[in-house]
Amino acid sequence: MKKLFYLSLAVLISASAVLSCKKSEENEDLHAVTKDYVLDGRSATLNGALSLMEGEVLSTVYFLVSEKSKIPEDGTEIRIPGTLEGSFFSGMVSSLKYATTYYYRAMSEVDGKTYRGKIKSFRTEDLAVTGVSIDKYPVKVVVGKTVELKAVITPEGATNQKLDWQSKDPEVATVKNGVVTGKKRGSTTITVTTDDGGMTVSRDIKVVNPCPEGAVDLGLSVYWATNNVGASKPSDPGEYYGWGETETKSPQNNEYFDENHYTYKDNPKVLPADHDVASVKWKENWRMPTAEEIQELLDNCTFFQTMVGTGPLLYEATSKVPGYTNKSISFPAAGYCAYNKNLYHYDEVAWVWSSSLDEPFYTSFAFHLALNSSTAFLKLSNRRFYGLPVRPVSD
């Protein structure tokens, strides 16, 4: 009988303790109850509730916010004042990080005692990708070498930074994580696509042989020779040629740069190798530059006048391409030959033939580089039979 009494007493004591504990928790929850939230971009409105017993005095209500799941109370947390309306209160936290989980709890101070609601969480919205770009400068890669393309996602700090890189012709060049490897001479297109939104941008890649001796790498799509055809050094004018002709003329032998002595009558858009004097004289991978390659030189170099020794005035072209700004080439102001006069504008202008004809409408016109004391530009000459210097390029 005694055993039964003690057992009943123990059960009653245990049940009383549990009920007391639940009541204590309920009292604490009722003084600071963490409710739901409303998310708006990088801001969130937090809601809470409380219930006061008769005679209790409320000092303040607020919320604690942190990126830590166990919200600290050491000054590193965010404290948001609450606005009380009846038995509910709310507060807004703003300037939050995108795509971040935050933890929060309702707090109150009643009769000098601090009450803490349960910890809840929310995650801010992702910052969506709106675009992607690649470095604007001309891109080339040497066979067997690599170059890294830099893709920039906008806006800065977008949540999803994943990119997919593809090469149109993997036999010419492959790409992995923006690193392009040259496989063989040729051209291909590298395309990068964002995982978020499917934004794309492409860049044409030219795979070239190593820079040959006698050339300078200006960071452009082709290598530019340091000398004109027939010149022994950069300051020498070299030889003069009619467009499409592979032999120079000698006024001493009654050979003039005029229509009567002009021998090349075909009208190709770009000169074939057997009528490209750079290919004929220098062979290998040398050729005359196209109009597009001359324009590329003009767009990506700065030009200024200089003098070397007793030769003609020089126009120096210095690369503006990042990583190549210490590279330059010079063009002597060699003028041009025409009719029965040997030279026009020697020591004034530097004209260099391109391999490009202005077809199909003006087949007597050919493009050439034109440098003078005031400007640098791509000129359309209406005299194919003029004798101009030739500056080879290689790719």
Q: Is residue 43 part of a domain?
A: yes
Kindly tell me if the per-residue pLDDT of 130 is higher than 90. Answer: yes
CATH number of the domain to which 107 belongs: 2.60.40.10
Q: Do 142 and 118 share a structural domain?
A: no
Q: Is residue 253 part of a domain?
A: yes
Kindly tell me if the per-residue pLDDT of 16 is higher than 80. Answer: no
Of 189, 208, 227, the one marking the end of a domain is 208
Mean pLDDT of the chain: 89
pLDDT level of residue 7 (50, 70, 90 thresholds)? very low
Q: Do 308 and 227 share a structural domain?
A: yes
List 301's β-bridge partners, or say none. 319
Of 81, 101, 123, the one marking the end of a domain is 123
The C-alpha atoms of residue 294 and residue 371 are separated, in whole angstroms, by: 12
List 306's β-bridge partners, or say none. 314
- The string of pLDDT tens digits covering residues 227-242 is 999 999 999 999 999 9
Of 208, 235, 253, the one marking the end of a domain is 208
Kindly tell me if the per-residue pLDDT of 219 is higher than 50. Answer: yes
For residue 256, give the DSSP letter: -
Q: Do 345 and 260 share a structural domain?
A: yes
Kindly tell me if the per-residue pLDDT of 257 is higher than 60. Answer: yes
Q: Is residue 75 part of a domain?
A: yes
pLDDT level of residue 22 (50, 70, 90 thresholds)? very low
pLDDT level of residue 119 (50, 70, 90 thresholds)? very high
C-beta of residue 356 within 8 angstroms of C-beta of residue 270: yes
Task: Provide mean pLDDT across the span 318-347.
Answer: 91
Q: Do 388 and 355 share a structural domain?
A: yes
Task: Provide mean pLDDT across the span 245-256.
Answer: 84
Q: Do 145 and 38 share a structural domain?
A: no
Task: Provide mean pLDDT across the span 260-264.
Answer: 92
Q: Do 351 and 248 share a structural domain?
A: yes
Question: E strand or H helix at 137, and its extent?
Answer: none
For residue 329, give the DSSP letter: E
Neighbours of 150 (CB within 10 A): 8
CATH number of the domain to which 140 belongs: 2.60.40.1080
Specify the pLDDT at position 27.
43
Task: Provide mean pLDDT across the span 13-37.
Answer: 58
Angle at 139 between CA 329 and CA 158, to 5 degrees: 135
Close Cβ partners of 35 (under 8 Å, ≥ 6 residues apart) = 46, 47, 48, 49, 88, 106
- The string of pLDDT tens digits covering residues 54-84 is 999 999 999 999 999 999 999 999 999 999 9
- Buried b / exposed e over 79-96, threshold 16 CB at 10 Å, is ebebeeeeeebbbebeeb
The C-alpha atoms of residue 124 and residue 137 are separated, in whole angstroms, by: 37
Q: Is residue 241 part of a domain?
A: yes
Q: Do 295 and 360 share a structural domain?
A: yes
Q: Do 197 and 243 share a structural domain?
A: no
What is the rounded (10 degree) CA torsion for 135, 330, 224, 285? 180
The C-alpha atoms of residue 329 and residue 347 are separated, in whole angstroms, by: 17
Q: Radius of gyration (Cα) for the chain, nearest Å?
A: 39
385 alpha carbon, distance to own chain's centre = 44
Q: Is residue 18 part of a domain?
A: no
- The string of pLDDT tens digits covering residues 167-216 is 999 999 999 999 999 999 999 999 999 999 999 999 999 898 999 999 99
> Structural domain of residue 252, as residue ranges?
215-394
Kindly tell me if the per-residue pLDDT of 13 is higher than 80. Answer: no
Kindly tell me if the per-residue pLDDT of 274 is higher than 70. Answer: yes
pLDDT level of residue 137 (50, 70, 90 thresholds)? low
Angle at 315 between CA 226 and CA 392, to 5 degrees: 30
Task: Provide mean pLDDT across the span 16-29.
Answer: 41
C-beta of residue 66 within 8 angstroms of C-beta of residue 76: yes
Q: Is residue 223 part of a domain?
A: yes
Specify the pLDDT at position 361.
65
Angle at 302 between CA 134 and CA 335, to 5 degrees: 130
- What percent of the chain shows pLDDT beyond 90? 76
- The string of pLDDT tens digits covering residues 343-367 is 899 999 999 999 999 876 678 889 9
Specify the pLDDT at position 373.
84
List 89's β-bridge partners, or say none. 48, 84
Q: Is residue 137 part of a domain?
A: yes
Specify the pLDDT at position 127.
93
Q: Do 220 and 202 share a structural domain?
A: no
Q: Do 375 and 271 share a structural domain?
A: yes
Our count of domains for the chain comes to: 3
Kindly tell me if the per-residue pLDDT of 21 is higher than 90. Answer: no
Kindly tell me if the per-residue pLDDT of 254 is higher than 90. Answer: no
Q: Is residue 1 part of a domain?
A: no
pLDDT level of residue 342 (50, 70, 90 thresholds)? confident
The C-alpha atoms of residue 165 and residue 190 are separated, in whole angstroms, by: 7
Q: Is 107 left (phi over 0), alpha (psi -120 to 50) or beta?
A: beta
β-strand 393-394 against 223-225: which pairing, if any?
antiparallel
C-beta of residue 194 within 8 angstroms of C-beta of residue 129: yes
For residue 11, give the DSSP letter: H
Q: Do 190 and 110 share a structural domain?
A: no
Specify the pLDDT at position 360.
67
- What percent of the chain shows pLDDT beyond 70? 89
Three-class secondary structure of residue 100 per DSSP? coil
C-beta of residue 354 within 8 angstroms of C-beta of residue 270: no
* The token pair that represents 200 in the structure block: 């794309």
The C-alpha atoms of residue 96 and residue 122 are separated, in whole angstroms, by: 11
Specify the pLDDT at position 11.
34
210 alpha carbon, distance to own chain's centre = 25
Q: Do 136 and 116 share a structural domain?
A: no
